[in-house]
Amino acid sequence: MSLSLEETKLVGLTMKLNLKAKEYKELCKELDELEQQGIDPNDERLRPLLSKFKQNNSEIKSIKRQLHALQ
């Protein structure tokens, strides 16, 4: 069975979206662990995590736009 170019792109983007969803869950686990330690909301250790959340969110939005454009 051969996939068309659009189908191949759709599969690839779906796989990327699944990967980003897994990364998001891992970031949530990391945040939960910090919260369980009683970390202060203004602690500097949260800055890199916030940056990772923002990057992940941006990538998810980009993938969703690409998926929407294909459909």
* List of long-range contacts for 10-17, beta carbons under 8 Å, 24+ apart: 10/67, 10/70, 13/63, 13/66, 13/67, 13/70, 14/67, 16/63, 17/60, 17/63, 17/64, 17/67
pTM of the entire structure? 0.84
State pLDDT tens for residues 9-42.
999 999 999 999 999 999 999 999 999 999 888 9
Percent of the chain with pLDDT over 70: 99
